[in-house]
C-alpha cells in the first residue's frame, strides 16, 4: 500500500532526497516547487519502502491505510496531483549541505535567530564545514516561529522543532540567548568575533491596515494574536480580550484560518495542546460564535491552502457569504481550485448588525474590506464595505492578517518599502552602492519577505550558505580580530542575564516535565522572568 503526504507537510524536501524511485513531487528545481500546498506521493510509483516517512521532520507522510477522519482526503489529493501533472524530466537537485572546496578551516559563523531559517542555516554550516556556530537570540528560549507561530493544535508541524535539537546541542554550536543585536551587541562587534554573520530574524511586524481607528484597543495584528495564544514572552497575557459573539478577521490565508479555528474550537479540544494557559482560560470564559474572514478579492483568489480548510475540526460550520459576484465565481470555478472547494458549502446572507446565532460558524466573505474601526479607546464596531455598500457591524475584536514585514537591524541596510534586508542570493547589499556588505548575510523571511512555509527556509538556507562559502573560498571574508572567549566575556558584561546551552536545556526539561504531568506536550513558560528562573 502506498504512502500519502498529509496536512502537516513542511515541504523541506527531506522526503524527496531519500525516495529511491523518485515518486515525490514537486522537487526543488521543478517549476511548481514552493507553490503547491504540500508535496505529493505518486501512488502508482510508490514501492511502500517507508523511507520518506522516516525522513519527514513533521510526521506528514503516512500509509494510506491508516488515514482516518479529516486525513482520509489526502489519499485522493496525492493521487489527483499526478492525474493533472505533465511528465517532466528534471534531475533531482541536491538540497542537503554542500561541501565546497577551498573553504578555510575553522570558520566562526554567528547566526542571529533560532527559528527554522536560522537553524537550517546553522545545520548546513555544521554539516558542510568544520566551522563553529554561535546562536544569538533575543529570547531565552529557541524556536522562533516554530514556538510562537505554528498553531498549538498542529502538533505534527511543531515536531519539526525536535529535529533542530541536534543542531542546538552540536559540540561546535554555542547558544547565547536573551541577547539582542543593537542592544547588547552590535553588528560590528559580531563581525569582530566571527568570520560572518547570518541574520535569520524573520518578519516580526504586522503590515498595517491603514484605516481610521487601527490603534484602538481590540484591533490586533495576526502576529500579535498568534504569539498571544502561543505564549510568546513578548506579548502580555492580557493583550487579547476574547469577546462573546462575532469576530472579524481581515484576510483569508492560512494564518487567518488558524486564528479563526482557535477562536471557534472547543477549549477542551485545545486543552491537550501546548496552547498558553492564559489563552485557554480566556477562550473558556468567552463565547465566540462566529468568525468572519474578509477577503478583498473573490473566492478564486482565496489565499488559504486546501489542506488547512479540509482539516477544520468537527463542530465548526463553514459557510460562504452570498452575493452575485461570489455566486458567479463559485459556479464557474475550475476543478481543484479553492473556489471549487467552496462551491458546495452552505451560502448565507448575514446581518452583521445583530448578534450571531448559537453554534460555531466560520463565514468566508469575499470582495469586502474594513474601512474604519470605531470606539472610545476600545473597539466597538467596524465599517465593512462590500458589493452591497457599507455596514457598521458591532464587534470587540478585529484581527488583521494581511502579511508581515521585517524589522531593521542597527548597522545594516533595510528596504522600508518591502520590509526586508536588501540582498542578492543571501548576501546583504548596500542599496546606495549595489555592493555586498562584507561578512553580512540573510536568510528566510528577512531575506525574501513573509511568504513560503517552514520547508522553504531549508532551500533558502542552502542558497545563502552557498554564497557565504563561495565568499570564504575566494578570500572575501575578513578573519575575526577577537577570540571566542572574548565574545563570551563581552556578552557577560553587556547582558548579566545571559542564557547558555545548559540554561536552554533546563527550560526544556521544566516545560516538558510540566506537560507530562498535565497530559500535554509541554506547558510553556510565558514570561521572560519565568524562563530565566527555569534556566537557572
Per-residue tens of pLDDT for the chain, all 536 residues: 689 999 888 888 889 988 999 999 998 888 888 888 899 999 999 999 999 999 898 889 999 999 988 888 899 889 988 987 766 656 666 666 567 788 999 999 999 999 999 999 999 999 999 999 999 999 999 999 999 999 999 988 888 888 888 899 999 999 999 999 999 999 999 999 999 999 999 999 999 999 999 999 999 999 999 999 999 999 999 999 999 999 999 999 999 999 999 999 999 999 999 999 999 999 999 999 999 999 999 999 999 998 889 889 989 999 999 999 999 999 999 988 899 999 999 999 999 999 999 999 999 999 999 999 999 999 999 999 999 999 999 999 999 999 999 999 999 999 999 999 999 999 999 999 999 999 999 999 999 998 888 888 888 899 999 999 999 999 999 999 999 999 999 999 999 999 999 999 999 999 999 999 999 999 999 999 999 999 99
pTM check: above 0.85: yes
Q: Which CATH class is domain 3-84?
A: alpha beta
- Arch. (CATH architecture) of 222-400: 3-Layer(bba) Sandwich (3.50)
Fold exhibited by the domain 108-204+406-499: Rossmann fold (3.40.50)
Angle, alpha carbons 320-302-292 (nearest 5°): 45
For residue 46, give every residue at least 6 positions away whose Cβ sits within 8 Å of its Cβ, in sequence order, or none: 2, 3, 21, 23
Tell me the three cell numbers of residue 130.
Answer: 568544520
All structural domains of the chain with their residue ranges: 3-84, 108-204+406-499, 222-400
Per DSSP, the residues of 377-415 read SB--EEEEEETTEEEEEE-S-EEE-S-EE----TTS--B
Q: What does residue 252 show for φ and ψ, rounded to 5 degrees?
A: -140, 35
C-alpha dist (Å) from residue 14 to 94, 97, 110? 10, 12, 25
**351: three-class secondary structure by DSSP:** coil
Cβ distance 126 to 170 under 8 Å? yes
- Return the exposure string of 143-168: e unless at least 16 CB atoms fall within 10 Å of the residue's CB, then b: bbbbbbbbbbbbbbbbbbbebbeebb
Q: What is the DSSP letter of 511?
A: H
Amino acid at each position: 500500500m502506498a504512502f500519502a503526504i498529509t496536512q502537516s507537510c513542511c515541504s523541506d524536501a527531506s522526503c524527496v532526497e531519500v525516495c529511491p524511485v523518485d515518486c515525490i513531487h514537486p522537487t526543488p528545481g521543478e517549476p511548481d516547487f514552493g507553490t503547491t500546498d504540500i508535496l505529493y506521493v505518486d501512488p502508482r510509483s510508490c514501492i511502500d519502502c517507508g523511507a520518506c516517512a522516516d525522513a519527514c521532520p513533521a510526521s506528514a507522510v503516512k500509509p494510506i491505510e491508516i488515514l482516518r477522519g479529516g486525513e482520509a482526503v489526502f489519499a485522493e489529493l496525492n493521487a489527483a496531483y499526478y492525474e493533472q501533472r505533465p511528465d517532466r524530466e528534471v534531475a533531482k537537485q541536491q538540497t542537503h549541505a554542500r561541501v565546497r572546496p577551498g573553504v578555510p578551516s575553522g570558520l566562526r559563523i554567528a547566526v542571529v535567530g533560532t527559528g527554522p531559517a536560522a537553524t537550517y542555516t546553522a545545520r548546513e554550516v555544521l554539516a558542510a564545514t568544520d566551522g563553529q556556530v554561535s546562536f544569538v537570540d533575543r529570547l531565552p528560549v529557541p524556536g522562533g516561529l516554530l514556538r510562537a507561530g505554528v498553531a498549538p493544535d498542529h502538533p505534527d508541524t511543531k515536531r519539526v522543532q525536535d529535529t533542530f535539537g541536534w543542531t542546538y546541542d552540536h559540540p561546535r554550536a554555542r547558544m547565547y540567548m536573551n541577547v539582542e543585536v543593537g542592544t547588547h551587541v552590535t553588528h560590528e562587534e559580531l563581525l569582530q568575533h566571527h568570520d560572518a554573520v547570518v541574520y535569520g530574524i524573520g518578519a516580526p511586524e504586522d503590515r498595517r491596515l491603514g484605516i481610521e481607528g487601527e490603534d484602538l484597543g481590540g484591533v490586533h495584528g495576526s502576529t500579535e494574536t498568534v504569539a498571544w495564544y502561543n505564549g510568546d514572552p513578548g506579548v502580555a497575557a492580557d493583550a487579547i480580550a476574547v469577546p462573546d459573539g462575532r469576530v472579524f478577521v481581515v484576510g483569508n490565508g492560512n494564518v487567518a484560518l488558524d486564528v479563526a479555528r482557535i477562536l471557534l474550537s472547543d477549549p477542551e479540544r485545545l486543552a491537550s495542546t501546548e496552547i498558553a494557559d492564559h489563552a485557554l482560560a480566556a477562550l473558556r470564559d468567552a463565547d465566540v460564535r462566529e468568525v468572519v474572514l474578509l477577503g478583498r478579492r473573490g473566492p478564486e483568489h482565496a489565499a488559504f491552502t486546501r489542506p488547512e480548510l479540509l482539516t477544520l475540526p468537527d463542530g465548526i460550520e463553514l459557510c460562504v457569504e452570498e452575493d452575485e459576484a461570489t455566486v458567479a465565481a463559485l459556479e464557474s470555478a475550475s476543478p481543484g481550485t479553492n473556489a471549487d472547494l467552496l462551491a458546495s458549502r452552505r451560502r448565507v446572507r448575514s446581518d452583521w448588525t445583530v448578534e450571531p446565532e448559537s453554534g460555531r460558524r466560520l463565514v468566508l466573505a469575499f470582495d469586502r474590506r474594513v474601512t474604519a474601526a470605531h470606539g472610545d479607546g476600545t473597539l466597538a464596531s467596524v465599517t465593512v464595505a462590500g458589493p452591497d455598500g457599507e455596514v457598521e457591524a458591532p464587534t470587540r475584536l478585529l484581527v488583521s492578517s494581511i502579511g508581515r514585514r521585517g524589522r531593521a537591524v542597527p548597522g545594516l541596510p533595510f528596504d522600508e518599502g518591502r520590509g526586508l534586508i536588501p540582498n542578492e542570493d543571501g548576501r546583504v547589499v548596500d542599496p546606495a552602492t549595489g555592493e555586498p556588505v562584507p561578512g553580512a548575510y540573510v536568510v528566510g523571511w528577512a531575506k525574501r519577505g513573509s511568504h513560503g512555509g517552514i520547508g522553504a527556509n531549508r532551500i533558502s538556507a542552502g542558497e545563502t550558505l552557498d554564497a557565504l562559502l563561495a565568499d570564504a573560498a575566494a578570500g572575501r571574508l575578513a578573519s575575526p580580530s577577537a577570540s571566542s572567549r572574548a565574545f563570551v566575556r563581552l556578552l557577560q558584561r553587556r547582558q548579566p542575564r545571559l542564557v547558555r546551552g545548559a540554561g536552554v536545556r533546563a527550560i526544556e526539561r521544566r516545560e516538558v516535565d510540566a506537560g507530562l504531568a498535565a497530559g500535554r506536550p509541554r506547558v510553556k513558560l510565558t514570561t521572560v522572568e519565568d524562563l530565566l528562573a527555569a534556566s537557572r
